[in-house]
Amino acid sequence: MLVEKLVQETLGIKDHRVVRVEGNGCGLRVYLERIRGRRLPCSRCGKRSPVRDRRGERRWLHVPFWGIPVTLHYHPTRVICSKCGLQQENIPWSAGKSRLSLPLITVLAAWSRLLAWKTVAEMVGLAWGTVRSAVESAVQYGLEHRDTSEVFYLGIDEISVKKGHRYVTQVYDLAQKRLLWSGEGRKEETLDRFFTEWGPERCGRIRGICCDMWKPYMKQIQAHCPAAVMVFDKFHIVKHLLQAVDEVRKQEAFELRKKDPDVLKGTKYIWLKNPWNLTPRQKERFGYLVRLNLKVNKAYLFKEAFRELWDYKSVWQAEEYLNKLIWWATHSRIQPLVRFGKLLRNHREGILAWFKIPLNNGATEAINNNAKQVSHRCHGFRTTTTYISNLYHCIGKMPLPQTTHPFL
């Protein structure tokens, strides 16, 4: 098979042909030309239209053949479309103004989901910036062609990207476990950008949103999705409870520092663990501590009682039990528990919403771990914009540009 025929087969072109292939020490230069007499598709609507004129030569980097660099050369033409007017033809191997061919974009993007960008660049013999351009083009294509018609349940969380409380807000599709949107910051304006980009029509289809009790998130959800049920993530609620129990332990250890400084020393995880996860040594010490009538033991009993809330099946039973827990916490005279009881009282509706739509951010936390692995694999990113592009690419489950030949 001639090199010209090989190039034409891998590009899958029908309205163009390979005129010649020139080779030198720097690689192969492939020159293409349109087949005369044929109408070419409009780049905007795809309708075949008569040719008007030609533009200057453009060049595209193509997939290397056996490690030999390949460059495509072509003079794009303009067509007179009856719908769109004077437009450039739709070039089958080109993605907008990118200087990379679609097959090369697909190859680099596919490898970049598995390997660090620097590793991919070294494998193909290209610069790191070329791989970044390929990923950005693939992300742009994926955002335009992904299907979001069946997104009904969202999970909202944030991940840390740098020291100094630098965050990225993540919006996930809980059903398909994919990243829908990522934006720099953890402010009210950050989530407002998502809902504005998402649009009123898609916001109206959302049935439930799971998030933590972060006021900026709550305000934007109520403003843009008033019909959606806002469910507070139960794992974040339990996290607040464990922090309260540990705070009780610290305060009581400080109070007992003169009388018996060793009584609560090394007991942090005895109070925070589930009873069935205690080691034999921890069980033995726990049996001794419960006989001392400590405040932290009362907080521990409340923690175990709170666990039973999630076992209820009906909303009214859960509400009745939750009211008892709130009364218990607010009348315990133990300040960390009192604050937690007020937290439950102020967010009662969002907590009880779990019994209507049992959403949680368990899948969100798992995807967050994948996001951290993306960063570790590439040894971090200098800019948040580049990091967000890689997040879209790796955990967004977006389609890649379709090519005639897979190359992989």
pLDDT at 79: 93
On whether residue 21 sits in a domain, the answer given is: yes
β-strand pairing of 77-81 with 51-54: antiparallel
- The Cα–Cα gap between 246 and 272 comes to 7
CA dihedral 256, 258, 259, 260 (to 10 degrees): 70
On whether residue 70 sits in a domain, the answer given is: yes
**Same domain, residue pair 21 and 76:** yes
On whether residue 114 sits in a domain, the answer given is: no
Identify residue 192 by its one-letter amino acid code.
D
pLDDT tens per residue, the chain (408 residues)? 577 888 888 888 889 999 999 887 778 899 999 998 899 999 889 899 999 999 999 999 988 887 788 899 999 999 999 989 999 999 998 888 888 888 899 999 999 999 988 999 888 888 898 899 999 989 999 999 999 999 999 999 988 887 666 889 999 999 999 999 999 988 889 999 999 999 999 999 999 999 988 888 899 999 999 999 999 999 899 999 999 999 999 999 999 888 888 889 889 999 999 999 999 999 999 999 988 889 999 999 999 999 999 999 999 999 999 999 999 999 999 999 999 999 999 999 999 999 999 988 888 888 888 888 888 887 777 888 888 999 999 999 999 888 777 776
DSSP class of residue 38 equals -
- The Cα–Cα gap between 404 and 154 comes to 35
- The Cα–Cα gap between 204 and 139 comes to 26
**Same domain, residue pair 39 and 74:** yes
How many distinct structural domains can be found in the chain? 3
**Same domain, residue pair 184 and 173:** yes
**Same domain, residue pair 244 and 327:** yes
**Same domain, residue pair 241 and 320:** yes
Residue (of 72, 81, 97, 68) closest to 13 by Cα position: 72
pLDDT above 70 coverage of the chain, percent: 99
Domain's final residue, options 75, 94, 113: 94
- The Cα–Cα gap between 171 and 396 comes to 10
Range of the domain at 34: 1-94
On whether the CB atoms of residues 209 and 228 are closer than 8 A, the answer is: yes
Question: Looking at residue 227, which CATH number applies to its domain?
Answer: 3.30.420.10
**Same domain, residue pair 194 and 301:** no
On whether residue 99 sits in a domain, the answer given is: no
**Same domain, residue pair 78 and 176:** no
On whether residue 406 sits in a domain, the answer given is: no
